Amino acid sequence: MEIRNVAIIAHVDHGKTTLVDNMIYQTHVLRENQEMGSLILDQNDLERERGITIFSKNISIFYKGVKINIIDTPGHADFGGEVERVLRMADGVLLLVDAFEGPMPQTRFVLQKALQLQLVPIVVINKVDKPNCRPEEVHEAVFELFFQLDATEEQLNFPTYYGSGKQGWFNQSLQPSQDITPLLDGIISHIPAPQVSEGPLQLQITSLDYSSFLGRIAIGKVQRGKICVNQPVCLVAADGSVRQAKVKELYVFEGLGKRNATTVEAGDIAAIVGLEDFAIGDTVADIQHPEPLPPLEVEQPTMHMLFGINNSPFFGRDGKYVTSRHLRERLMKETEKNLALRVEETESPDSFLVYGRGVMHLGVLIETMRREGYELTVGQPQVQVKIIDGQRCEPYEELVVDVPMDCASKVIDLVTRRKGTLLNMHTKGHMQRLEFEIPSRGLIGLRTQLLTATSGEAIMAHRFVAYKPWKGAIPSRINGVLVAKETGTVTAYALDKLQDRGIFFVEPGEEVYGGMIVGENNKPGDLVVNTNEGKKLTNMRASGSDAAAQIIPKRRMSLEECMEYIQQDECIEVTPSHIRMRKVILDAEQRKKQQKIMAPSE
């Protein structure tokens, strides 16, 4: 049977998952009466809520007697680790580009990885039905990008398809076709069949799955040889150690699920049950000739946060898993499948340093953990600093912001204040595209400010470039916070009297504790306030003073907004039901003493 292994890569929101939906419906993977809606592969709750792909997925379709294994990859830069490892299973890539936006920072990142692995590209220019789209200009920009990334002569000779995932057609011209069959024909004719070399079994584990019945399942492409059920194999780890194992069950991908198989030939993607203590990057090899494949290399994390147990007065109210042992086990389990994540133990047994690719990468981990029933506290995100040639260096990112022309000056002002440098500025339709180089530290909290300054019109994207010399202090939050004085329930009477002090994050009836952040001060510096004060009741009544309190609605903040908001002396308490910001030191007197100790050293 002929096989094609193809990965779909693109910048976030350029239409990868919608294209996969079209392929599924076109090849009748679903029954006639089975309606799955849109975004079929984004089944995770977080993916549905955020409208992005977070985890890569494998499916297969059959077209004209050829089995096409499709790998849907994430588009956001923070989940680049997912893309880097799953590209090893592919022989070609569909590079999806928005017909209006053109190549974006993440397009460059994923394309560079694909070209380095010598994968054969097909360019798909999507969303040509959008107003102001510019497919010819975008095609030239994609060619320029290939050239900049040192593509080979064969890779530069890529075929291009135009179409609309929403309308369900793709063609080599801008004339709409009936469906996406021209693109499927293109995959069969342009993407090569897997190259199979002679020799004993070799399969590199590039992905993990988990079943409550079968346990951990190893997924990878059979590079050479074949693998069979009940076959004794060797598991070669990254450190060179060799262990014997046995294949208990074998599966191949078929449609949206998996099908039992007795043998999987070279070139196909297999899911193996029965291996124990394996990690991503390990090689499943022949027991007589255990030859390992080159280890998987994933770019290192650029940001870290301190994860600790929840030690607030409300500890243990919501969560099932609250101890440091639970926290440690969960974080170590995450590192097995999340290659871009690293966990280090600290001097305290109750806290761990967790390294990731960015605020969203770490935010998705925290959000997943709280939904599983964990309680924890997390500190302010910090960038990873390195000493290179005796010089202190920090990560820099390429930042691209698309804004209406009248907002461009506000964006330039905000980014340059955070040590960003404007590299390029050009007009794209009725929008202005601004390209900056900025330290990763400058990005923390920038998205909220940009959206506020541009009335929600700014679209920003960024990708890691390199480590460069430290750029000095970056201005952080100007306003102080309002901190609760004592534990109790917030009253409308107290909030009404305090409303001129700032904006509140709590509302009447909520429980607070001493040291919890309940609002933002209108001025610099922190202010301790009593939000629990009740009205003194008397038998005297007055017509004006007894009117109902008019309370401004509280400001609601998402987990990522909280992560970008807090300062070094603050942290976030995360439980299944609540996200609360608080001071690291809850007692007001202790905080004052700490500030006096810290003052001379600054």
pLDDT in tens, 361-381: 888 899 989 999 999 999 999
Taken as a whole, the chain contains a residue count of 602
Q: Do domains 202-286 and 481-601 have the same CATH topology?
A: no
Please list, residue by residue across 84-107, b when 16 or more beta carbons sit within 10 angstroms of its beta carbon and e when fewer do: bbbbbbbbbbbbbbbbbbbbbbbb
Is 16 annotated in a binding site? The answer is: yes
Residue 73 annotated as lining a ligand binding site: no
Q: Is 15 annotated as a binding residue?
A: yes
**DSSP code per residue over 411-422:** HHHHHHHTT-EE
pLDDT tens, 335-367? 877 777 889 999 988 999 999 888 888 888 999
Between the CA of residue 18 and those of 39, 40, 44, 72, 82, what are the distances in Å? Answer: 6, 8, 16, 10, 19
* pLDDT of the residue at 329: 92
pLDDT computed for residue 32 by the predictor:
42
- 29, 20 in Cβ contact below 8 A? no
> Is 489 marked within a binding site?
no
- Provide the CATH number for the domain formed by 202-286 in this structure: 2.40.30.10
Predicted confidence at residue 30, as pLDDT, reads 54
Closest CA to 508 of 551, 445, 448: 551
**Ramachandran category for residue 313: left, alpha or beta (phi over 0 → left; psi -120 to 50 → alpha):** alpha
554 is in an annotated binding site: no
Share of the chain above pLDDT 90, in %: 23
The CATH topology of domain 2-190 is Rossmann fold (3.40.50)
Q: What does the alpha-carbon distance between residue 598 and residue 602 come to, in Å, rounded to a whole number?
A: 7
Sequence ranges of the domains in the chain:
2-190, 202-286, 386-469, 481-601
Q: List beta partners, residue 162.
A: 125, 171
Percent of the chain with pLDDT over 70: 90
Phi, psi (degrees; rounded to nearest 5) at 106:
-70, -25
Q: In which region does residue 429 sit, left (phi positive, over 0), alpha (psi from -120 to 50) or beta (all else)?
A: left
Does 42 show up as a binding residue in the annotation?
no
The architecture that CATH gives domain 386-469 is: 2-Layer Sandwich (3.30)
pTM summary value? 0.78
* Cross-strand partners of 261: 250
Of the candidates 523, 528, 525, the one whose C-alpha atom is nearest the C-alpha of residue 483 is: 528
**Greatest CA separation for the chain:** 97
Q: Kind and range of the H or E element at 221?
A: strand 215-224
Express each pLDDT in 130-143 by its tens digit: 887 888 988 999 99
Specify the pLDDT at position 80.
Answer: 63
For every residue of 476-508, DSSP letters joined together read: ---S-EEEE-SSEE--HHHHHHHGGGEEES--T
Q: What is the pLDDT of residue 42?
A: 44
563 token code pair: 């992560």
Which of 221-230, 288-297, 349-358, 536-545 has the least mean pLDDT?
Answer: 536-545
pLDDT digits (tens, 9 = 90+) for 279-318: 888 888 888 888 888 877 777 788 899 999 999 999 988 8
* Confidence (pLDDT) at 35: 47
For domain 481-601, say whether CATH 2.40.50.250 is its number. yes
Q: Which of 42-46, 87-91, 236-240, 583-587 has the highest mean pLDDT?
A: 583-587
Q: How far is CA 577 from the centre of its chain?
A: 22
Q: Please indicate if the annotation marks 98 as binding a ligand.
A: no
pLDDT at 270: 87
8 A C-beta contact, residue 157 and residue 150: no
Q: Is 126 labelled as part of a ligand binding site? A: yes
What residues are paired with 467 via a beta bridge? 395
Left (φ > 0), alpha (ψ -120 to 50) or beta: where does 362 sit?
Answer: alpha
Mean pLDDT over all residues of the chain?
84
